[in-house]
Amino acid sequence: MSQHYKKLGFKTPENYFQKSKNQILATTINNENKIIKQQTNSYFHLLVAAIFITSLLYLNFSNLNNQMNDFNTNSPIISTILSDKEITDEYIVDFLTDIVVINEFKIPK
Amino acid sequence: MKEGALLKILKNPASKNEGFRLLVDLYQEKIYWMIRKMVLSHDSTNDVLQETYIRIFKGIEKFQEKSKLSTWIYRIAYNECIRFLSNESKLKKVELDSNDDNYSRKLYADVYFDAENLSLKFHQILSELTLRQRNIFNMKYFDELKFTEISKITGININTIKSKYYLVEKRIKKEINESAL
């Protein structure tokens, strides 16, 4: 290599090239090893998280299914869905009156 | 070690890290001095050198061997220098054909600069050149690169490089001889 650069009066700190080499290797090779380790760890965390979320969803859906089967037929809104009737104020008042009357007067068997 | 052998080591995932260590040993000083002549201060050179090696490390698998490995490495270093100088001057694109008004200021601000008569004369002449002229002169005279390599690194036509270099060389010789008298 040309030594002409010395004509320019440039200097470097003591042991600069050795220190710089270590720094370069630390930011490239060693850093990549760390990234690979972190990636392995994150894959594991991701797997655990996925299992957890799947379990939550499974439990929620099974509860939801039970709730869907146990819907309250005494609700005026659900009643309209079942009977295809339009929700109007009159309908709701009539519906609630019916419910009250049915609950008040139990017909003996 | 020959470039071909080094490339084989570098492109094999199992030996990439070892190859990279060899590559750092082989080119570290050469690249450092090339960058130093462009950015002038030692600290800035250190930053650009780091960035250059990070880019080399990340991009070595994509190197298609259309040029020599050394040319590819110099080109990355050159581009990093241009990027650094652009950021430094807060311009989107550094003006390669204009003079660097801050040349002397940057030089004297660096603690790792030791001026002697000849150094000062050299720097005085270099500071009067455009960045493009200076880069071409530095690569040929100090880094001893071939004109074809300089052309590939800078993306400038080889004939333009030759004519610019000989003009600058003639001028420098003339001024150094005059100052020696």
pLDDT tens readout for residues B130-163: 888 888 988 998 888 999 999 999 999 999 999 9
Q: Is the dihedral of CA A89, A92, A96, A98 positive or negative?
A: positive
Confidence check: pLDDT of B63 > 50: yes
Residue B5 φ/ψ, nearest 5 degrees? -65, -40
Residue with tokens 């090339």: B34
Residue A7 domain-assigned (yes or no): no
Residue pLDDT, tens place only, A28-86: 887 766 655 666 677 778 888 998 898 888 887 777 666 666 656 666 666 666 666 67
Q: At what angle do helices A89-104 and A76-83 cross, to 10 degrees?
A: 110
What number does CATH give the domain B3-180?
Answer: 1.10.1740.10
User: Domain check: are A63 and A89 in the same one?
Assistant: no
Name the band, by pLDDT with cuts 50, 70 and 90, for residue B35.
very high
The ipTM estimated for the assembled molecules is: 0.76
Residue B146: the pLDDT is: 92
Closest in B29, B33, B53 to A24, CB measured? B53
CB neighbours of residue B19 within 10 Å = 19
d(CA B4, CA B2): 6
**Residue in B110, B50, B152, B114 with CA at minimum distance from that of residue A31:** B50
User: Domain check: are A83 and A51 in the same one?
Assistant: no
Residue A40 domain-assigned (yes or no): yes
- Residues of A with CB below 8 A from B144's CB? 1-2
Q: How far is CA B138 from CA A17, A31, A90, B21, B147, in A?
A: 21, 34, 94, 27, 12
User: Domain check: are A80 and A63 in the same one?
Assistant: no
Confidence check: pLDDT of B106 > 60: yes
Of the two residues B7 and A89, the one the predictor is more confident about is B7
Q: Across the interface, do B37 and A8 touch by the CB < 8 Å criterion?
A: yes
d(CA B66, CA B89): 33
User: Domain check: are A25 and A66 in the same one?
Assistant: yes
Residue A37 domain-assigned (yes or no): yes
Residue A101 domain-assigned (yes or no): yes
Residue A73: the pLDDT is: 63
Domain that holds residue A27: 17-70
Q: Is the dihedral of CA A87, A90, A96, A102 positive or negative?
A: negative
Residue A2 domain-assigned (yes or no): no
Residue A105: the pLDDT is: 67
For the ranges A60-64, B13-17, B94-98, the lowest mean pLDDT is seen at B94-98
CB neighbours of residue A97 within 10 Å = 10
DSSP 3-state of B94: coil
Residue B130 φ/ψ, nearest 5 degrees? -75, 165
Residues 6-45 of A with CB under 8 A from B: 7-13, 16-17, 20-21, 23-25, 27-29, 32
The rounded mean pLDDT for chain B is 85
Residue with tokens 């309209």: A80
User: Domain check: are A21 and A57 in the same one?
Assistant: yes
User: Domain check: are A47 and A76 in the same one?
Assistant: no
User: Domain check: are A79 and A109 in the same one?
Assistant: yes
Domains held by chain A: number = 2
Residue A12 domain-assigned (yes or no): no
Confidence check: pLDDT of A1 > 50: no
Q: Across the interface, do B142 and A21 touch by the CB < 8 Å criterion?
A: no
Residue B57: the pLDDT is: 92
**Best residue in A4, A12, A17, A24 for a mutation probing chain B (most B CBs within 10 Å):** A24
Residues 6+ apart with CB under 8 A from A25: B20, B21, B24
- Residues of B with CB below 8 A from A26's CB? none
Confidence check: pLDDT of A102 > 90: no
In chain B, where are the structural domains located? Answer: 3-180
| DSSP β-bridge partners for residue A10 | B113
